[in-house]
Every structure is written in C-alpha cells, then in structure tokens.
Amino acid sequence: MSERETQLRALLIGGLGGDEASYHAFLKNLSTHLRGFLRVRLARLPDDVEDLVQETLLAVHNQRHTYDPGQPLTAWIHAIARYKLVDLLRRRAGREVLNDPLDEELQVFAVSDNDAADARRDLGKLLEQLPDRQRLPIVHMKLEGLSVAEAARATGMSEAAVKVGVHRGLKALAALIRSNDENR
Amino acid sequence: MKTDDLIAMLAGDANAVAPRVWQPRYALALGAGLAGAMLLMVLLLGVRPDITAAVRLPMFWVKLAFPAALAAGALLAAVRLSRPGVATGRAGAMLAAPVLAIWVLAALALLGAPGDRAMLVWGETWAACLVNIPMLSVPAFVAVFWVMKSLAPVRPALAGAAAGLLAGAVSAVAYALHCPELAAPFIGLWYLLGMLIPAVLGALIGPRLLRW
C-alpha cells in the first residue's frame, strides 16, 4: 500500500467520523490527484478537466457512505473517477476519442496537479436552479459559513429541514450537472 | 465556482457517516421483499393444501433450498456491485453452484425415470411458474432497486441483473410454498427461467435507473 493511499485513507476516515478539518484536507489532497489523473486521460478535452474534477469531488462526497474502511481507497476512488470519466465521454460521444486506455492500472494517485484551471461550468449558476428549500441551506451553510442553527433561523426552516436540504441539494446538483451537460 | 470553494462547501457538510450503511438497507429490502412475496402468494395463489404432507418430502426442501441458495449468491453480488471498486469475488461461484447442483439432480431423475420423462420436465404448471415468479418478485424488485439506487453501482447493467435475480430468487422461495411440482428437472428449468425474467428486466433498466 502506497504512502499516499495510507495518508489519504486516514484523512477520509477522519472525515467519515465527522472531522471537518480532516475531510477538508482529504478533498484538497484528492483534488490534486484527480486533476493529474484526469488531465492525462482527457488530453484532448483540456477544457473539461476542471469540470470533471469538480463533478468527481461532488460524487465522492455524495457517495462517501459507500466506502468500506477495509477497502483499498485507490480502488474506490479509481472506480468513481472512471465512472464519471466514462459518463462524460459518453455524453461527448462522437466528438472525442479516448487517447488512453482506462483500465491500465490504478494510477489515481500516481500524478498530482495543483494547478487548478478555471472550471468552465459554473456550479454557482447551477446552484441557483435548485429549489429554495435546498438552495438556501447550501448558500447559508456552505457559502456563508453559518451553523445549522443560524441557517435555520435565517431561512425560517427547521434544523432537520436544513440538514436534509443540504444533503438532497448536493445530490440534486450532481443530477443537474448530468442533465445540463446532455442538453449542451 | 472555483474548485477550492467547492471543496470548502463539501467539507462543511462533513457529518459523521454510519459505517456499512448498505448492510441494514439490504436487510430491510430483503425482509420487505420476502414479506411482500409471501403476502401476494397467500392472497393471490394460496399455500398448497397438502403442505403438511409435502414437508416430509426431501424434494420439497430442495425446491426451497435452490432459490434460497441463489438468493444468497445474488445478494452477495448485489451488495458488491452496489459499491465502487469492489470486485464481485465469489458471487459468481455462489450463483453457479446451486444451478449445477439442481441440474445434476435433474439429470439423475431423468436417467432413473422409468417411463414418462416429458412429465418430469414440463410438469403441469410450467406456464404458471413463468408468470407467478416474476409477479411475486415485484415487491422485492422495487425494494432492492430502491436500495441500490441509494448506493453507487458503477456497472449498472450487471448490478441491475443481480438486483433482479435477487428479487426473482426471493419470490421463488415464496412461490415454492404454493407450487405443486416436485421434479428436479422442472425446478432446474422453469424455476430458473422464472427467476431469470426479473434478472433480464433488471439488466435492461439498470443503466437507466441506477445512474448517479
């Protein structure tokens, strides 16, 4: 097991236990690996790299309950990144050809890239399409940094509804990305 | 939105996540699916009237064990296919073993049969078997797909097939309490086909239904 795998896995497990700092470090670290991994595989679609990094991060977050701590993290991340990559290529079918076989190896952590380009798709704009009961909790809690109680007060929603709103909203965001992309 | 902003947003949502949530979810789906199949069987078809005599026959238990063993294999496959980066492992072997076993029993029955071999294969209710097993599988089919949808299958056609087969196998266990047939060739053919109908359906709708 590589050192990176061990380190990232510890950060994720901390995050799954509710440790925000650990989870933040995990996502930050993961994003550089994803960027490197996807940039190599999307050499012909360089503009899509950052979008896909974001989409994959959102998927990792939304599906984090499917990670089994006994499972190699590399395999889990690779499967998610590959799924999102294939999904993107399918949406772009006819326009692009894959320049690198996908199944080669689990190289998710082999390269890293800190240089975040600007995402072409603005998640902020997509966020505006969500219904208020999902959008407002996300905006107040995630973008303005309010606590659950504060967000509940600001929106007039119950604390439970705020939590559900954030959770469902992030899932809805992932679905919006897909449909938005298909209609493009 | 910049990637760093997205990361900050997601990190703020770092509530503790219960480990292995798929276990209670699948347990619930399986329980609901089996209860639903039993209820439909009792209401629409009825338990076979000679059940107290039938339980003394070994083939009655073989007829229950065959779909139950397939359900175990399909459950393992479904659980594994529901999560990214998990290999199906022994699920394939667990699915093949009961099929091979019933075919061996069927071959022995056919070889040892004195007269009418066709009756051992066709029985009297083969058509009902093909209709009723898929029909009784509906509650389990819905429940298992519901759970799978809440997880993250990366091979949706295969995952859908495993979900459908699981529903069909659960349904066949319930149907076995109604069905009057006891011949191994009948079970090895028509029960299997009856269970494969929801499996094929699952494979067809999986890619559409299980996207995430």
Same domain, A42 and A72: yes
Of B4, B5, B7, B26, which to mutate for an interface test with A (greatest number of A Cβ within 10 Å)? B7
What ipTM was assigned to the predicted interfaces of this complex?
0.89
Are residues A184 and A99 located together in one domain of the fold?
A: no
Report the predicted TM-score, pTM, of the whole model to 2 decimal places. 0.86
Same domain, A6 and A73: yes
Instruction: Say if B103 is an interface residue toward chain A (CB within 8 Å).
Output: no
CA gap A170, A136 in Å, rounded: 12
Q: Which positions ≥6 away from B50 have C-beta within 8 Å?
A: none
Which of helix, strand or coil describes residue A37? helix
Domain extent for A33: 1-119
**Tens digits of per-residue pLDDT, A34-58?**
999 999 888 888 888 999 999 999 9
CATH number at residue A87: 1.10.1740
Three-class SS state of A121: coil
**Contact with chain A for residue B212, Cβ under 8 A:** yes
* Residue B125 identity (one-letter amino acid): T
Claim to verify: residue A68 and residue A140 sit in the same structural domain: no
Same domain, A167 and A104: no
Of the candidates A50, A59, A78, the beta carbon closest to that of B3 is on A50
My answer on whether A105 and A160 are in the same domain is no
| Residues A140 and A57 grouped into a single domain | no
All residues at 6 or more sequence positions from A3 whose CB lies less than 8 Å from its CB, including other chains = none
* A76 shares its domain with A5: yes
Instruction: Indicate which CATH number applies to the domain containing A160.
Output: 1.10.10.10
- The Cα diameter of chain B in Å comes to 78
pLDDT in tens, B107-130: 999 998 877 888 899 999 999 999
**Rounded distance, CA A173 to CA A147, Å?**
21
**Total of domains in chain A:** 2
| A114 and A133 housed in the same domain | no
Beta carbons of A116 and B212 less than 8 Å apart: no
Same domain, A100 and A161: no
A49 touches B at CB < 8 Å: no
Single-letter residue type at A93: A
Decide: B144 and B78 in contact? Cβ < 8 Å. yes
Q: Does A115 touch chain B (CB under 8 A)?
A: no
Q: Where are the domains of chain B?
A: 22-209
Where is the domain boundary, A119, A139, A172?
A: A119
Let me know whether A52 and A65 are in one domain. Answer: yes
Closest-CA residue in chain A for B152?
A63
Chain A contacts of B2, Cβ < 8 Å? Answer: 116, 118-119
Ordered per-residue pLDDT tens for chain B, 212 residues: 889 989 988 988 778 888 899 999 999 999 999 999 999 999 999 999 999 999 999 999 999 999 999 999 999 999 999 999 999 999 999 999 999 999 999 999 999 887 788 889 999 999 999 999 999 999 999 999 999 999 999 999 999 999 999 999 999 999 999 999 999 999 999 999 999 999 999 999 999 999 99
Q: Which of A60, A65, A136, A150 should one mutate to test binding to chain B, selecting the residue with the greatest count of B CBs within 10 A?
A: A65
Q: How far is B150 from chain A (nearest CA, A)?
A: 9
Are A2 and A50 in contact by the 8 Å Cβ rule? The answer is no
Instruction: Evaluate whether A142 touches B9 at the Cβ level (below 8 Å).
Output: yes
A115 plus A125 within the same structural domain: no
